[in-house]
Structure 1
Amino acid sequence: MSWFRALKETSRSGLSVERTRLEPLVALRGAVGLGITIGLSLWALGAEAAVSSAFGAFQAAIATFQRSWRPRPELALASGASLAVSTFLGYLTVTHLALFLALLAVWTFAAGLSWAAGPTTGLIASSNVAMMLITVTLPTSVAQAGVHAATMVAGGLIQAALIVLFPVRRWGAHRDALADALAAEADYARRLRHDPVAPFDPSALMEARAAAALTPRQARRRPAELRGTRGLAERIRPVLASLADPAVGVPPEGPERDRARELLGAAAAVLDAAAHAVRHGTSVDLPPAAVAAFRTPDTGSILTGAPYRAATRLGRLLQDVVETAQGSGEAAPAAHLHRPSLLALAPVALRAMRDELHRSSPVARHALRVTVVACAGYLLGTALPFGHGYWAPLAAVMVMRPDFSQTYSRAVARFAGTLVGVAVATGVLQITGADPGASGALAVGSAALMYLLMRTGQFAAQACIGAYVVFLLGMGGEQWTQTVPERVLLTLLGGVLAMVAYAVYPAWETPRLRTYLADWLAAQGRYAAAVVRHHAEPAGRSAPDVREALLGARAARAAWHAAVARAAGEPVRHRGLSRVAADDAEDALTQTGRVAMLMEAHLPERGAPPLPPAGRLADALRTATEAGARAVRERRVPDWTAVRDALQDPGWADADDTVVRQGGRLLLRHLTELSEALDTAVPPMTAGRDANGRITKGDANGPITGEDANGRIAKGNADGTATGGNTNGTATGGNADGPRNPGDSAAR
């Protein structure tokens, strides 16, 4: 999109107010902690120390609101302690411009790199740099600097103590993550009743997995109903898909399909009941109709073969879900994903930061960009005749993020919110003439409002922060005339510097989309190859290599979707991958993962007869997808001849397993669709061509399917029958059991 449109969209995003669930008790707890900190410091140490302690407690509370599965007291302690260290070191050098600039550069670069360790770490580190720019101006001696640093630590301790003493919905975030995963499975089961090849977004399962990683202290206190349910939800998903899919499950119509729809509806009802129980910590209330659907003996007389095995396994898994959701399952207390403690996290974060130290890394470019802007903003703010020049670098550090959209939207929101917040706070101070105690109370009220509204959007949060800072500095003795003009003008300067820096030294995601797509293709190939390999060499349903490959494919998919979302608002051309081509390629890879999942649902038991052709297919899938990933990066079209040849292996004639062969044909079809999407993105091609240079594609059994009069590909179904293209050049395609409707995107 154009720069004008990109700026308009990001501005609208920054100024929007979202509807979200408010957490008044959590906001009240953070405000109480801030009030206690300010009151004690004001009583014992004076106004200036109270301002420092207020920044420490304020920042510690903000840290606990971030989306993190780490214990909230740890976040509060880490935030308060790191701000104290930053302030003390900053004060030691603030009187020497060159030394302070060097410290600011090192501190800001490290904060920029810390985004590699996660958004929570990046936000806390960036906020510490911004707060340091204010707090280093408050002490007047080294001893006072030490006292101010101690009060910041105390502010973090008070917030952590309140979290421990007054927990609000203990384990609530973890319950929500697990319940959302179960609810997503229920929604998937309902959609499969009407669309047997419906896609599934695994983000809820990924979130539940992230929530399941626990520190040793969390693992000892985790409720019983949160143990084991996530793993069962993971195993249910492929069983649901295999029961509904017409290629390996029940036929498209008939009594088998009706029975499958009934079971899918019952499974959805059971999963919803389990999700409700987990979310609220109550017992599972099962709908009688759903229980009856799985207990009836009619299933065995209607379903046979693979569908019957899937239905039977689905019933067992749902029973296990119900038992674990009400805390009566047999999950071992020690069976959890490990999350390092706060001290053990330091080397992990340092390794992640070190891995980003290369020129092409968006995080490294962000770190360099924010460092230059912070130093330049500090120099400009100091040179201008406004005083308090730290407002410019503070604003820049607070708004800058590794991607374009967030940086620009936050810059607009910060400036607009600052205008509103400062104007309101200034008017209140002028009318009331508040003394330090009253100013502190007003600051606490502003912070409470910010804690309550911070998840509704940047504009509301920045308005509250603007008022908070005015009240807080008023408590320290500064008049409103000393804060309003400089804060507004220097905030505008900092925002402009941030926006210009990203325009001059960007890290666009759009040119990197092919890299993300290639990574996803390679990951899907490894997952599919691992599944097919287990059919060739049966080792039981416990398949850690398949699980690892699946997690890698999910991570690559999430990275692709995040990159697409960021690229959507960038003012640059697609550079080789148009939006239409990206959507088509995404659909093809999504269906590739779905087919691999179907085959995973039918992994053979240990000791089952091996399937030698499946081993050759697994090798072909791995090598072809790795080569295809290289082709995508190099703007070429992948070639799937190796996969087609593996499916033509004579050994399939003697194979008794139709699931793998049918799945292989479906994989080939969707990989071919990927090539077609990339063919429309970037000519010329390197795949097979006819005499006129147009790409030709073969079905799973080898014959070439035709092209229509406009040169579009006419796809073939899994049995090798071409259905032809229509007069508009749109391939009509066919599914595994026959033709599908022209242009039916849901069937792809």
Structure 2
Amino acid sequence: MSWLRALRVSARSGLTIERKRLEPLLALRAAGGLALVIALGLWTLGPVAAVSSAFGAFQAAIATFQRSWRPSPELAVVSGASLAVSSFLGYVTRPHLGLFLALLAAWTFLAGLTWAVGPTIGLIASTNVAIMLITITLPTSVAQAALHAAMMVLGGLVQAALLVLFPIRRWGAQRDALADALAAVADYARRLRNDPVAPFDPRPLMEARAAAAVTARQARRRPAELHGTRPLAERVRPVLAALADPALGVPAQGPGRDRVRELLAAAGAVLDATAHAVRSAAPAHVPAWAVAAFRTPDTGALLSGPARRAALRLGALLDEMAQVAAAAGTDTAPAGGSERSALVRPSLAELAPAAVATVRRELRRRSPVLRHAIRVTVVTCVGYLAGALLDLGHGYWAPLTSVMVMRPDFSQTYERAVGRFGGTLLGVALATALVQSTRPGSLALGALAVLCAGLMYLLLRTGQFAAQACVAAYVVLLLGMGGEGWTQTVPERVLLTLFGGLLAMLSYALYPAWETPRLRYRLADWLTAVGRYAAAVLERYAVPAGPGEPARPLARSGDPGQRVREALRDARTARAAWHDSVERAAVEPVRHRGPAPERAEAAEEALARVGRAAILLEALLPERGSTPVPEAAHLAEVLRTTVDGAARAVRERRVPDWEPLRAALDGSPDGPGTGPGRGEEYVRHGARLLLAALEDFGRALDGAPAGTQPVQRADRTDGKPPGTG
């Protein structure tokens, strides 16, 4: 993609306002807290102190609007306190240019690195740097700087108190995440009626899992319908795939297929009803026909083998779902399962060591986060020096614009840069012209600032252009309320803003961190993760738990069932990373140095089939007390070793070799078993599905059509085609 086209595509995103994402009540509460803080500051300590407290409250409210499942009051307090510390240190070092630049560089570099921890922390840290450049100009002594820092902390505390005293749609974010996941599984069930091998996007389930992690205090207050419903959805998804897939015994046409379609429609209805109940916190009616569909006696006559087993499991799971939908919003709502202790969210203090370790892992030359930290540090320091040398007064507008625009990768920076940059120019120009032409009083300026902040909170999750215009106007109005910036003209502020934006955009062109060259590595990571997930599922066939006995570890320590869940999460994370990389690479103005787009698409489809084969195996896992399948242990180990070697080949631009897995399957009978207890047949059939998909993956990277003869390798001695299952 050319630079011009990349900028045009990115600009369209920055200028779009999505009305569905507007939340007026949340914006009103945040603006009300800001108005309270400004009024309190004006009444007690005067306009300048009111400005400091207003910045603290403003930043604290922004933190609570970010995509985070952590309790919002914690984010508000941490945001206000961190802004106070950075502002105080900035004021103390400001008289000494060299010392202040060292502090600014260190603070900005650390803020850049915090993007490794997550976008919420990264945005809070970056905004702290931007606001610090403003607030250090307000005090006139160290004592006043300490007072201003205390007022910023107060602003954060006020916003946190409002969140506690006036909750809006309590547990709303968690309810929406879980309801979206249930709705996604319901949609998947309906699509399977017409397309038995329809793909499934696991991101809603990943979001629901992230939302399900709670603190110990939250766990005691969580509504019953949010406790355990997500694991039910996780268990339903593979059973749906197993019921619909023709490879497991149900023909594409006939009475059996008609019954499968009926069961899938009923599953979609039950899941939709549960999603509605979870989202609205009120009991929902489950259609009687959907419940009756799983209780008709002719299901056993029409379905047999794996399909009958999947239908029975699906009926049991959906019965629990129906109970959740019928009793949601009441104290009698069933939990629907138990959440593991791994979903207990640690406190901020407990997260510190993990956050430090995450940041340390990014201290490598090719890390995009490290390159962002270096980029934003250089741009901020150059912008601050240039603003001071230009002698236009309040030269912080240049570095402030740069910090607010820059993000770790090209797509994030340029998607929002046009909106932020244009909005900042408009907001600065209009607010400065208003202040200089009308010279309003402190109360009027404070009221206008609150209005701008309220509009910004309303548009914060969409429409970067309008939101950034409100932010810029808010800053100008607050500075006017504090008596600062009266002499700085519109052209001067616009010039500094323009300079800061151009610095930010130029820095990415000169020192980029392109995603395109990393596509092959992302694909290899996904191959490794999905292969290990399939191997973990195979291990469960080798070591089924006996009645009343814990599952015995096979090759590594730990519960095999827990290993399956962890491997599935890793596979989903790797898949999401691949898709995110593809989206970012699509807008980068560089020559494509990863796998060719058509080959990458074919490889993606093949890996999706690998995951599907593993999911089918998981749906048919043996019950407690079933006969172990020793063959599965050997296949699991061979699969894991072969996939690891294949991933290395992908990274090194070589064709993967699946000969070890093919050799392990030589002589295995084809086709699934016809009755329960035939675990070895399920294993062999599933392994052959895995091998076929993996060989198609290799052919996709090599450019050969799917289903053709495997690529001949120098270390291959036979020419036998793979089993097709």
TMscore range, shorter length: over 0.9
User: Which residue, 338, 353, 360 being the options, matches 1:354?
Assistant: 360
Match of 2:540 in 1: 534
- Structure with the bigger RCO (C-alpha within 8 Å, sep 6+) is 2
**Alpha-carbon offset, residue 430 of structure 1:** 5.3
Is the alpha carbon distance of 1:492 and 1:27 closer, same or farther for their aligned partners in structure 2, counting shifts above 3 Å?
same
Once the two structures are superposed, residues 458-498 of structure 1 have per-residue CA deviations (whole angstroms, 9 ceiling, x without a partner) of 11111111211121111112455515323211111111111
Once the two structures are superposed, residues 420-443 of structure 1 have per-residue CA deviations (whole angstroms, 9 ceiling, x without a partner) of 223332454456431111000000
**Alpha-carbon offset, residue 419 of structure 1:** 2.4
**Alpha-carbon offset, residue 538 of structure 1:** 2.4
Match of 1:731 in 2: none
Deviates more, 1:337-346 or 1:652-661: 652-661
User: Which residue, 428, 438, 456 being the options, matches 2:462?
Assistant: 456
Deviates more, 1:282-291 or 1:529-538: 529-538
**Alpha-carbon offset, residue 203 of structure 1:** 0.2
The separation in 1 between residues aligned to 2:690 and 2:453, in whole angstroms, is 55
Match of 2:626 in 1: 608
Is the alpha carbon distance of 1:415 and 1:480 closer, same or farther for their aligned partners in structure 2, counting shifts above 3 Å?
farther
- Counterpart secondary structure, 1:329: coil
Match of 1:741 in 2: none
**Alpha-carbon offset, residue 344 of structure 1:** 2.0
Match of 2:9 in 1: 9
Matches within 5 A, 1:487-636: 487-539=493-545, 543-636=561-654
Once the two structures are superposed, residues 395-430 of structure 1 have per-residue CA deviations (whole angstroms, 9 ceiling, x without a partner) of 111111110012123322222102222333245445
User: 1:90, 1:136 within 8 Å by CA — same for their partners in 2?
Assistant: yes
Matches within 5 A, 1:405-424: 405-424=411-430
Structure 2 residue 693 is the aligned partner of structure 1 residue 670: yes
The separation in 2 between residues aligned to 1:698 and 1:460, in whole angstroms, is 63
Runs of 5+ in structure 1 lacking a partner? Answer: 702-717, 720-748
Letter in 1 for 2:416: R
Deviates more, 1:409-418 or 1:197-206: 409-418
- Counterpart secondary structure, 1:139: coil
User: 1:112, 1:366 within 8 Å by CA — same for their partners in 2?
Assistant: yes
**Alpha-carbon offset, residue 18 of structure 1:** 2.9
Matches within 5 A, 1:660-739: 660-680=683-703, 688-689=711-712, 699-701=721-723, 718-719=724-725
The separation in 2 between residues aligned to 1:631 and 1:481, in whole angstroms, is 64
Match of 2:114 in 1: 114
Is the alpha carbon distance of 1:73 and 1:249 closer, same or farther for their aligned partners in structure 2, counting shifts above 3 Å?
farther
**Alpha-carbon offset, residue 309 of structure 1:** 1.1
**Alpha-carbon offset, residue 289 of structure 1:** 1.4
Match of 1:93 in 2: 93
Letter in 1 for 2:722: A
User: 1:640, 1:672 within 8 Å by CA — same for their partners in 2?
Assistant: yes
Deviates more, 1:601-610 or 1:195-204: 601-610
- Counterpart secondary structure, 1:225: helix
Q: TM (normalized to structure 2)?
A: 0.93
Letter in 2 for 1:343: A
User: 2:37, 2:155 within 8 Å by CA — same for their partners in 1?
Assistant: yes
Letter in 1 for 2:210: A
The separation in 1 between residues aligned to 2:154 and 2:418, in whole angstroms, is 34
**Alpha-carbon offset, residue 236 of structure 1:** 0.4
- Counterpart secondary structure, 1:482: coil
- Counterpart secondary structure, 1:200: coil
- Counterpart secondary structure, 1:295: coil
Once the two structures are superposed, residues 101-153 of structure 1 have per-residue CA deviations (whole angstroms, 9 ceiling, x without a partner) of 00001100110010111110000000001100000010000000001000000
The separation in 1 between residues aligned to 2:93 and 2:359, in whole angstroms, is 26
**Alpha-carbon offset, residue 249 of structure 1:** 4.4
The separation in 1 between residues aligned to 2:617 and 2:659, in whole angstroms, is 22
The separation in 1 between residues aligned to 2:541 and 2:659, in whole angstroms, is 22
Letter in 2 for 1:340: P
The separation in 1 between residues aligned to 2:382 and 2:194, in whole angstroms, is 59
State the number of aligned residues: 698
Is the alpha carbon distance of 1:700 and 1:427 closer, same or farther for their aligned partners in structure 2, counting shifts above 3 Å?
same
User: 2:668, 2:684 within 8 Å by CA — same for their partners in 1?
Assistant: no
User: 2:394, 2:485 within 8 Å by CA — same for their partners in 1?
Assistant: no
Once the two structures are superposed, residues 285-312 of structure 1 have per-residue CA deviations (whole angstroms, 9 ceiling, x without a partner) of 1011111211221212211221111111
Is the alpha carbon distance of 1:240 and 1:650 closer, same or farther for their aligned partners in structure 2, counting shifts above 3 Å?
closer
Q: TM (normalized to structure 1)?
A: 0.90
Matches within 5 A, 1:423-462: 423-429=429-435, 432-462=438-468
The separation in 2 between residues aligned to 1:161 and 1:350, in whole angstroms, is 29
Once the two structures are superposed, residues 163-203 of structure 1 have per-residue CA deviations (whole angstroms, 9 ceiling, x without a partner) of 00000000000000010110011000000000000010000
Deviates more, 1:247-256 or 1:632-641: 247-256
The separation in 2 between residues aligned to 1:435 and 1:560, in whole angstroms, is 54
User: 2:231, 2:337 within 8 Å by CA — same for their partners in 1?
Assistant: no
The separation in 1 between residues aligned to 2:360 and 2:197, in whole angstroms, is 42
Match of 2:554 in 1: none
- Counterpart secondary structure, 2:587: coil
Letter in 1 for 2:470: C
Once the two structures are superposed, residues 691-712 of structure 1 have per-residue CA deviations (whole angstroms, 9 ceiling, x without a partner) of 9x99x986433xxxxxxxxxxx
User: 1:613, 1:646 within 8 Å by CA — same for their partners in 2?
Assistant: no
- Counterpart secondary structure, 1:253: coil
Match of 2:75 in 1: 75
The separation in 2 between residues aligned to 1:182 and 1:167, in whole angstroms, is 25
**Alpha-carbon offset, residue 579 of structure 1:** 1.5
The separation in 1 between residues aligned to 2:27 and 2:462, in whole angstroms, is 13
Matches within 5 A, 1:304-383: 304-325=304-325, 326=328, 327-329=333-335, 331=337, 337-383=343-389
- Counterpart secondary structure, 1:214: coil
**Alpha-carbon offset, residue 331 of structure 1:** 4.2
**Alpha-carbon offset, residue 89 of structure 1:** 0.5
Structure 2 residue 293 is the aligned partner of structure 1 residue 293: yes
Once the two structures are superposed, residues 611-662 of structure 1 have per-residue CA deviations (whole angstroms, 9 ceiling, x without a partner) of 2332332222111110110000000111111121122145889994432222
Is the alpha carbon distance of 1:624 and 1:420 closer, same or farther for their aligned partners in structure 2, counting shifts above 3 Å?
same
Matches within 5 A, 1:155-170: 155-170=155-170
User: 1:446, 1:464 within 8 Å by CA — same for their partners in 2?
Assistant: yes
Deviation >6 Å, runs of 4+: 651-655
User: 1:521, 1:625 within 8 Å by CA — same for their partners in 2?
Assistant: yes
The separation in 1 between residues aligned to 2:719 and 2:335, in whole angstroms, is 51
Matches within 5 A, 1:41-52: 41-52=41-52
**Alpha-carbon offset, residue 690 of structure 1:** 8.9
Match of 1:133 in 2: 133
The separation in 1 between residues aligned to 2:590 and 2:145, in whole angstroms, is 47
Once the two structures are superposed, residues 512-553 of structure 1 have per-residue CA deviations (whole angstroms, 9 ceiling, x without a partner) of 011110011011110111111222332379711111111111
The separation in 2 between residues aligned to 1:393 and 1:700, in whole angstroms, is 61
User: 1:320, 1:329 within 8 Å by CA — same for their partners in 2?
Assistant: no
Deviates more, 1:479-488 or 1:127-136: 479-488
Match of 1:710 in 2: none
**Alpha-carbon offset, residue 25 of structure 1:** 0.8
- Counterpart secondary structure, 1:543: helix
Match of 2:152 in 1: 152
Identical-pair percentage: 66
Deviates more, 1:140-149 or 1:552-561: 552-561
The separation in 2 between residues aligned to 1:534 and 1:186, in whole angstroms, is 27
Is the alpha carbon distance of 1:277 and 1:698 closer, same or farther for their aligned partners in structure 2, counting shifts above 3 Å?
farther
Is the alpha carbon distance of 1:577 and 1:19 closer, same or farther for their aligned partners in structure 2, counting shifts above 3 Å?
farther
Letter in 2 for 1:205: L
